[in-house]
Amino acid sequence: MRRKIVAGNWKMNNDLNQSMSLIDSVIENSAGITNCELYLSPSFPFLRDSKIKCEHTNIKVLAQNVSHLEKGALTGDVSCDMLKSININSVIIGHSERRTIFKENDDILLKKIELCVKNNFEIFLCIGEDLESRNSNKEFSVIEDQLNNTIFNLNDINPKKLIIAYEPVWAIGTGLSANPSQAQEMHNFIREKFKVKFSESISDNLTIIYGGSVKPETAKDIFDQPDVDGGLIGGASLKHSDFIKIVKSIT
């Protein structure tokens, strides 16, 4: 059975107190949830406190990024070893904000993936096309290129340590969500590509989550699609009641 996952990506929101109290609220309201695995992704300075708070709960803590190099003169970067030293071993790689604002290209992302694999980390790899590509019917080739240039350079993958997050860039933070059939179509395409590249069993066991303006009102229809295994939630994860409603939409 494929893992079902809902992850809250807080991005650059919430100071220490806000982060701690949001985690408290999510813990309080998610006790007993067994329909999916829950992840929260606070900012770097609060990862350690978050991790400690989530001990003995059903919530896992996810870093929003990691460096492409092991160590050295990289002002502002955070390494796999640093994350490991605070017991964080799950990271988001290739979020579209990293790709566009911070100019992280596929070469950099592949280095991050390779380092994460070396460190036995769990990877949430984000892929997604921009509006121009979708409007010119290039969405499938963009996704294929992003896979070919990154994860498909590996000879083998462990589908229990990889989550693909399909996040159309035009739907992130815009209020415009892909409709359920657009999400299903792309998730199915991605799953097929993994089958061809690796194997049927890897493809069947791969968790592919959707991200991009998921709201409590829209989550169920998207999550009900056969190839959608959960969501990466930005804006709506900042309010615990919305986040929990989204989590409960998974069946």
Catalytic residue annotation: 95, 167
Which amino acid appears at position 106 of this protein? D
Using alpha carbons, select from 22, 60, 77 the residue that is nearest to residue 242.
Answer: 22
* Rounded-to-integer distance, Cα 227 and Cα 174, Å: 24
Smallest separation (angstroms) from ligand PGA to the CB of 72: 29
* Rounded-to-integer distance, Cα 16 and Cα 92, Å: 21
| DSSP one-letter code for 164 | E
**What does the binding site for ligand PGA look like in residue numbers (CB under 6 A)?**
9, 167, 172-173, 211-214, 232-236
Smallest separation (angstroms) from ligand PGA to the CB of 137: 23
Smallest separation (angstroms) from ligand PGA to the CB of 30: 18
Smallest separation (angstroms) from ligand PGA to the CB of 109: 16
Task: Say if residues 55 and 81 touch (Cβ distance below 8 Å).
Answer: no
For ligand PGA, the closer CB: 83 or 171: 171
User: First vs last Cα of the chain: how many Å apart?
Assistant: 13
* Rounded-to-integer distance, Cα 126 and Cα 60, Å: 18
Nearest residue relative to ligand PGA (C-beta): 234
For ligand PGA, the closer CB: 150 or 203: 150
For ligand PGA, the closer CB: 5 or 233: 233
Helices (H), 42-151: 47-54, 80-85, 96-100, 106-118, 131-135, 139-149
For ligand PGA, the closer CB: 52 or 176: 176
Beta-carbon contacts of 185 under 8 Å, excluding residues fewer than 6 positions away, are: none
What token pair was written down for 138? 């290039």
For ligand PGA, the closer CB: 166 or 198: 166
Smallest separation (angstroms) from ligand PGA to the CB of 167: 6
